[in-house]
Amino acid sequence: MKFTANFLTFLLIASFSISTANVSAAPRTNSKINNNTISSLMNGLKSENLGLKTGCAYMIGELQISNAIIPLMKILREDKNEEVRIAAALALYKIGSPMAINAVKQSIRFDDSERVSKLCANFYNEYLKNKNNDEEKNDAIAKVAIK
């Protein structure tokens, strides 16, 4: 069980590192996400199976399903398992809406786990870095358009 949890955490962190450049991008799939998929993923968030719950949170983040923000926030705030809270924070980061990012930011200060707090800080700092890069690009484009 401990090995599985550590491996899952490694996969989440590796995924975060690889995909941080595409936070504001559209969902990473060209196929349409149907209501059954969304419903299944949302139901998976309610599961007692930690692997299923974590996997569903991860996929929700990958697909940027904004309907799941409130359930993910609840998981981040209340779930007893660190890995599940980390998966919820990562999903919220990938969704990237102001409400989702605020939940990640609040977990930096209020989560009892130092590990969860540190990863939330990493997610939030990466969000700020990407946001600043986007603003700088927009400023550069505006300056060129003015000339």
What is the full per-residue pLDDT of the chain (147 aa) written as tens digits? Answer: 554 555 455 444 545 444 443 444 444 555 678 999 999 999 999 999 999 999 999 999 999 999 999 999 999 999 999 999 999 999 999 999 999 999 999 999 999 999 999 999 999 999 999 988 877 777 667 666 676
DSSP sequence for 13-69: HHHHHHHGGGTTSPPS-SSPPPHHHHHHHHHHHT-S-HHHHHHHHHHHHHHT-GGGH
Report d(CA 122, CA 108) in Å as an integer.
9
Q: pLDDT at position 147, please?
A: 63
Distance of CA 108 to the CA centre of its chain: 14
Domains of the chain: 2-146 (1.25.10.10)
pTM beyond cutoff 0.85? no
116-127 core/surface letters (b: 16 or more CB in 10 A; e: else): bbebbebbbebb
Contact (Cβ atoms closer than 8 angstroms) between residue 59 and residue 25: no
Q: pLDDT at position 2, please?
A: 53
27's tokens: 């969902």
Q: pLDDT at position 136, please?
A: 74
